[in-house]
A and B are shown apart, each in its own frame.
Chain A
Amino acid sequence: MRLNIALFGVAREIVGQSSLEIETAAGQSAQGLLAELHARYPALANLSSLAVAVNNEYAADDTPLHERDEIALIPPVSGG
Protein backbone atom coordinates (compact mmCIF):
# COMPACT_ATOMS: atom_id res chain seq x y z
CA MET A 1 0.00 0.00 0.00
CA ARG A 2 1.03 3.59 -0.56
CA LEU A 3 1.04 5.96 2.42
CA ASN A 4 1.26 9.73 2.32
CA ILE A 5 3.03 11.09 5.39
CA ALA A 6 2.95 14.73 6.47
CA LEU A 7 6.17 16.09 7.97
CA PHE A 8 6.66 18.99 10.38
CA GLY A 9 9.40 20.92 12.10
CA VAL A 10 12.76 19.22 12.41
CA ALA A 11 11.44 16.03 10.74
CA ARG A 12 10.48 18.08 7.68
CA GLU A 13 14.00 19.55 7.58
CA ILE A 14 15.70 16.15 7.99
CA VAL A 15 13.70 14.62 5.14
CA GLY A 16 13.94 17.80 3.07
CA GLN A 17 10.27 17.96 2.09
CA SER A 18 6.92 18.57 3.76
CA SER A 19 5.38 15.24 2.81
CA LEU A 20 6.55 11.82 1.80
CA GLU A 21 5.01 8.97 -0.18
CA ILE A 22 6.14 5.56 0.93
CA GLU A 23 5.28 2.10 -0.42
CA THR A 24 4.93 -0.37 2.42
CA ALA A 25 3.33 -3.70 3.31
CA ALA A 26 -0.45 -3.79 3.77
CA GLY A 27 -1.32 -3.58 7.47
CA GLN A 28 2.02 -1.98 8.37
CA SER A 29 2.05 -0.72 11.97
CA ALA A 30 3.04 2.71 13.24
CA GLN A 31 6.18 1.18 14.76
CA GLY A 32 6.99 -0.61 11.49
CA LEU A 33 6.65 2.62 9.55
CA LEU A 34 9.02 4.37 11.98
CA ALA A 35 11.58 1.58 11.50
CA GLU A 36 11.41 2.01 7.70
CA LEU A 37 11.80 5.78 7.99
CA HIS A 38 14.72 5.47 10.41
CA ALA A 39 16.46 3.23 7.87
CA ARG A 40 15.94 5.79 5.09
CA TYR A 41 16.68 8.89 7.19
CA PRO A 42 19.16 7.92 9.95
CA ALA A 43 19.19 11.47 11.39
CA LEU A 44 15.64 10.85 12.66
CA ALA A 45 17.20 8.58 15.32
CA ASN A 46 18.94 11.61 16.88
CA LEU A 47 15.63 13.19 17.90
CA SER A 48 14.47 13.14 21.52
CA SER A 49 11.28 11.41 20.39
CA LEU A 50 9.35 10.68 17.21
CA ALA A 51 5.68 9.71 17.19
CA VAL A 52 3.25 8.74 14.46
CA ALA A 53 -0.13 10.43 14.31
CA VAL A 54 -3.11 8.81 12.59
CA ASN A 55 -6.16 10.95 11.89
CA ASN A 56 -5.09 13.62 14.40
CA GLU A 57 -4.46 11.16 17.27
CA TYR A 58 -1.16 9.81 18.58
CA ALA A 59 -0.86 6.21 17.39
CA ALA A 60 0.18 3.28 19.59
CA ASP A 61 3.14 1.22 18.33
CA ASP A 62 0.85 -1.54 17.04
CA THR A 63 -1.73 0.73 15.39
CA PRO A 64 -2.29 -0.59 11.84
CA LEU A 65 -2.05 1.99 9.06
CA HIS A 66 -4.35 2.28 6.04
CA GLU A 67 -4.05 4.11 2.73
CA ARG A 68 -6.98 6.39 3.55
CA ASP A 69 -5.50 7.46 6.92
CA GLU A 70 -4.09 10.94 7.48
CA ILE A 71 -0.61 10.08 8.75
CA ALA A 72 1.99 12.45 10.16
CA LEU A 73 5.39 12.25 11.84
CA ILE A 74 5.45 14.14 15.13
CA PRO A 75 8.89 15.21 16.38
CA PRO A 76 9.15 16.62 19.95
CA VAL A 77 6.54 19.35 20.30
CA SER A 78 7.51 22.75 21.68
CA GLY A 79 4.44 24.96 21.71
CA GLY A 80 3.57 27.46 24.41
Chain B
Amino acid sequence: MIHIDLTDQPIAIAVALRSVEADGAGAINTFIGTVRNQSTGRAVIRLEYEAYDSMALHQLRKVAEQAVEKWPMLQKVTVVHRKGTLYIGDVAVVVAVSTPHRAESFAACQYIIDTLKQVVTIWKKEFYQDGDVWVAAHP
Protein backbone atom coordinates (compact mmCIF):
# COMPACT_ATOMS: atom_id res chain seq x y z
CA MET B 1 0.00 0.00 0.00
CA ILE B 2 3.08 2.23 0.19
CA HIS B 3 5.17 2.50 -2.96
CA ILE B 4 8.41 4.50 -2.93
CA ASP B 5 10.82 5.03 -5.80
CA LEU B 6 13.86 7.11 -6.66
CA THR B 7 14.71 7.10 -10.36
CA ASP B 8 17.03 8.66 -12.91
CA GLN B 9 14.42 8.04 -15.61
CA PRO B 10 11.43 10.29 -16.49
CA ILE B 11 8.57 9.69 -14.03
CA ALA B 12 5.55 7.97 -15.57
CA ILE B 13 2.72 10.02 -14.06
CA ALA B 14 -0.07 7.75 -15.31
CA VAL B 15 1.63 4.72 -13.77
CA ALA B 16 1.96 6.52 -10.43
CA LEU B 17 -1.72 7.47 -10.52
CA ARG B 18 -2.85 3.95 -11.37
CA SER B 19 -0.75 2.58 -8.51
CA VAL B 20 -2.99 4.26 -5.90
CA GLU B 21 -6.31 3.13 -7.38
CA ALA B 22 -8.32 1.27 -4.74
CA ASP B 23 -11.92 0.02 -4.58
CA GLY B 24 -12.38 1.74 -1.22
CA ALA B 25 -11.17 5.10 -2.50
CA GLY B 26 -13.50 7.91 -3.50
CA ALA B 27 -10.60 10.30 -3.94
CA ILE B 28 -7.18 10.23 -5.55
CA ASN B 29 -5.05 13.30 -4.89
CA THR B 30 -1.78 14.05 -6.65
CA PHE B 31 1.02 16.55 -6.28
CA ILE B 32 3.34 16.91 -9.26
CA GLY B 33 6.46 19.00 -8.73
CA THR B 34 7.95 20.44 -11.93
CA VAL B 35 11.05 22.44 -12.84
CA ARG B 36 10.33 26.19 -12.98
CA ASN B 37 12.07 28.54 -15.41
CA GLN B 38 13.26 31.02 -12.76
CA SER B 39 14.36 31.18 -9.15
CA THR B 40 14.34 34.46 -7.20
CA GLY B 41 14.43 36.34 -10.49
CA ARG B 42 17.30 34.40 -12.11
CA ALA B 43 16.58 32.39 -15.23
CA VAL B 44 17.12 28.69 -14.57
CA ILE B 45 18.59 26.56 -17.36
CA ARG B 46 18.58 23.18 -15.67
CA LEU B 47 18.61 21.44 -12.29
CA GLU B 48 20.74 18.65 -11.01
CA TYR B 49 19.31 16.45 -8.28
CA GLU B 50 21.66 14.39 -6.14
CA ALA B 51 20.43 11.82 -3.62
CA TYR B 52 21.78 9.80 -0.74
CA ASP B 53 19.79 6.91 -2.10
CA SER B 54 19.54 4.49 0.82
CA MET B 55 18.63 7.19 3.33
CA ALA B 56 16.29 8.97 0.91
CA LEU B 57 14.34 5.76 0.30
CA HIS B 58 14.24 5.02 4.04
CA GLN B 59 13.11 8.54 4.94
CA LEU B 60 10.52 8.63 2.13
CA ARG B 61 9.01 5.42 3.48
CA LYS B 62 8.95 6.87 7.00
CA VAL B 63 7.15 9.99 5.76
CA ALA B 64 4.55 7.82 4.02
CA GLU B 65 4.16 5.68 7.16
CA GLN B 66 3.68 8.81 9.27
CA ALA B 67 0.94 9.91 6.87
CA VAL B 68 -0.79 6.55 7.30
CA GLU B 69 -0.60 6.97 11.08
CA LYS B 70 -2.13 10.45 10.85
CA TRP B 71 -4.77 9.44 8.30
CA PRO B 72 -5.48 5.73 8.91
CA MET B 73 -8.12 5.82 6.16
CA LEU B 74 -5.34 6.18 3.54
CA GLN B 75 -5.74 3.39 1.04
CA LYS B 76 -2.54 3.71 -0.96
CA VAL B 77 0.45 6.06 -1.12
CA THR B 78 2.97 6.42 -3.93
CA VAL B 79 5.97 8.76 -3.90
CA VAL B 80 8.38 8.86 -6.83
CA HIS B 81 11.31 11.28 -6.92
CA ARG B 82 13.58 11.93 -9.86
CA LYS B 83 17.33 12.43 -9.69
CA GLY B 84 19.94 13.50 -12.20
CA THR B 85 19.69 16.36 -14.71
CA LEU B 86 16.26 17.96 -15.28
CA TYR B 87 15.17 20.76 -17.60
CA ILE B 88 12.33 23.29 -17.51
CA GLY B 89 8.97 21.55 -17.26
CA ASP B 90 10.39 18.16 -16.28
CA VAL B 91 8.67 16.32 -13.46
CA ALA B 92 10.83 16.14 -10.33
CA VAL B 93 8.42 14.46 -7.91
CA VAL B 94 5.01 12.82 -7.86
CA VAL B 95 3.01 12.19 -4.66
CA ALA B 96 -0.24 10.28 -5.09
CA VAL B 97 -2.64 9.16 -2.37
CA SER B 98 -6.08 7.59 -2.27
CA THR B 99 -8.66 7.92 0.50
CA PRO B 100 -12.40 7.25 0.92
CA HIS B 101 -13.22 11.00 0.95
CA ARG B 102 -11.51 14.03 -0.56
CA ALA B 103 -10.64 16.13 2.51
CA GLU B 104 -8.11 13.64 3.86
CA SER B 105 -6.60 13.14 0.41
CA PHE B 106 -5.66 16.83 0.17
CA ALA B 107 -4.31 16.89 3.74
CA ALA B 108 -2.24 13.71 3.41
CA CYS B 109 -0.82 14.68 0.02
CA GLN B 110 0.25 18.10 1.34
CA TYR B 111 1.75 16.57 4.49
CA ILE B 112 3.84 14.16 2.43
CA ILE B 113 5.30 16.74 0.03
CA ASP B 114 5.90 19.30 2.81
CA THR B 115 7.67 16.76 5.04
CA LEU B 116 9.62 15.31 2.11
CA LYS B 117 11.10 18.74 1.47
CA GLN B 118 12.25 18.97 5.11
CA VAL B 119 13.79 15.55 5.73
CA VAL B 120 14.47 13.53 2.59
CA THR B 121 18.15 13.45 1.60
CA ILE B 122 17.91 14.88 -1.90
CA TRP B 123 19.78 18.00 -3.02
CA LYS B 124 19.02 20.33 -5.90
CA LYS B 125 21.54 22.50 -7.71
CA GLU B 126 20.20 25.27 -9.94
CA PHE B 127 22.19 26.24 -13.04
CA TYR B 128 21.89 29.75 -14.51
CA GLN B 129 23.59 31.48 -17.46
CA ASP B 130 26.21 32.87 -15.10
CA GLY B 131 26.63 30.36 -12.32
CA ASP B 132 25.05 27.73 -10.12
CA VAL B 133 23.72 27.44 -6.56
CA TRP B 134 22.91 24.59 -4.17
CA VAL B 135 19.35 25.46 -3.18
CA ALA B 136 18.85 26.32 0.54
CA ALA B 137 22.50 25.55 1.36
CA HIS B 138 23.36 28.98 2.75
CA PRO B 139 21.33 31.42 4.87
A→B interface (CB under 8 Å): 6, 8-10, 13, 46-48, 53, 56-58, 70, 72, 74-80
Chain B contact residues, majority secondary structure: mixed
Known A9-B134, A47-B137, A53-B52: A80·B123 in contact at CB below 8 Å: no
| Contact between A8 and B134, CB atoms less than 8 A apart | no
| Contact between B124 and A74, CB atoms less than 8 A apart | no
Please name the residue on chain A nearest to B114 by beta carbon.
A80
Tell me which residues from 37 to 82 in chain B have a Cβ below 8 Å from any Cβ of chain A. Answer: 49-52, 54-56, 58-59, 81
Q: Give bound CA distance, A72 to B116, whole Å.
A: 18
| Contact between B124 and A78, CB atoms less than 8 A apart | yes
CB proximity of A14 to chain B, nearest CB, Å: 10
| Contact between A78 and B136, CB atoms less than 8 A apart | yes
Contact of A74 among B49, B52, B81 (CB under 8 A): B52
Hey, which chain B residues are within 8 Å of A13, CB to CB?
Answer: 134
B→A interface (CB under 8 Å): 33, 49-52, 54-56, 58-59, 81, 92-93, 113, 116-125, 134-139
CB proximity of A18 to chain B, nearest CB, Å: 10
Number of A-B contacts (CB under 8 A): 81
| Contact between B137 and A9, CB atoms less than 8 A apart | yes
| Contact between B55 and A77, CB atoms less than 8 A apart | no
CB proximity of B118 to chain A, nearest CB, Å: 7
Hey, which chain B residues are within 8 Å of A58, CB to CB?
Answer: 119
Hey, which chain B residues are within 8 Å of A48, CB to CB?
Answer: 136-139
Known A9-B123, A72-B55: A79·B136 in contact at CB below 8 Å: no
| Contact between A77 and B118, CB atoms less than 8 A apart | yes
Known A77-B119, A79-B81, A80-B93: A10·B52 in contact at CB below 8 Å: no
| Contact between A47 and B138, CB atoms less than 8 A apart | yes
Hey, which chain A residues are within 8 Å of B59, CB to CB?
Answer: 56
